[in-house]
Amino acid sequence: PTENAGCLIPKPAEGQSQPPTVDVLATASRAAASLTVPQPVMYVGPDPRNNKWNALAVGLPVWVWADDQAPQSTSVNEQGIQIDMTATRGEVSVDWGDGTTTVCSSMTPRPPNIEPMTKSPDCGHVYQQAGDYTITVTASWSVAWAALGQTGSVGLESSTGYGLRVGEFVSVVAV
């Protein structure tokens, strides 16, 4: 086969008048776009499972973080073309379920013995109303590909959700 303007042109078979062409750019981009990237592994702090109401309080700072995920590499053969791909996770977007979205370029795990009203330095939120919310974390991935001396990249996303109950708590002091 020979290369011509991004296409792989196989040698014509006997009796074949026009050789078929394969668009390397389109084939590699399609392969990269079909790659499955891992969903973010998400954590919420303080952990609402640590109280009998399984809820967090209105006005309490909520921290969200996701495990760092190493780049994912693979190779595939599409239409006779070897395509090498590496997916690297970038920013993480958090939809808090109340109309607020935060883009987090870094995410700090909540330390276990921190003062309860401490806000996350990079990826947190404070709910102003009681309710049941779904926090959706979406990781952006850049998939770099290389095939037949050509390169390119494709953006992908993966998401996961977390149901969170936020309540208004009133303390009662009995005398």
Is the pLDDT at 117 greater than 70? The verdict is yes
The average confidence (pLDDT) of the chain is 87
Q: Percent helix, strand, coil in the chain (nearest 5)?
A: 5, 50, 45
**CA nearest 64: which of 98, 97, 110, 132?**
110
Which residue has tokens 């290369």?
3
- Looking at per-residue confidence, does 125 or 29 come out higher? 125
Structure tokens at 72: 């994912």
From residue 46, alpha-carbon distances to 43, 114, 130, 134 in Å are: 9, 10, 16, 16
pLDDT band at 15 (very low <50, low <70, confident <90, very high): low
Q: What is the pLDDT of residues 129-170, one digit of tens each?
A: 999 999 999 999 999 999 999 999 999 999 999 999 999 987
pTM of the model: 0.78
**What pLDDT score was predicted for residue 30?**
86
Cα separation, 16 vs 13, whole angstroms:
5
Q: Facing residues of 87 across strands?
A: 72, 143
pLDDT band at 20 (very low <50, low <70, confident <90, very high): low
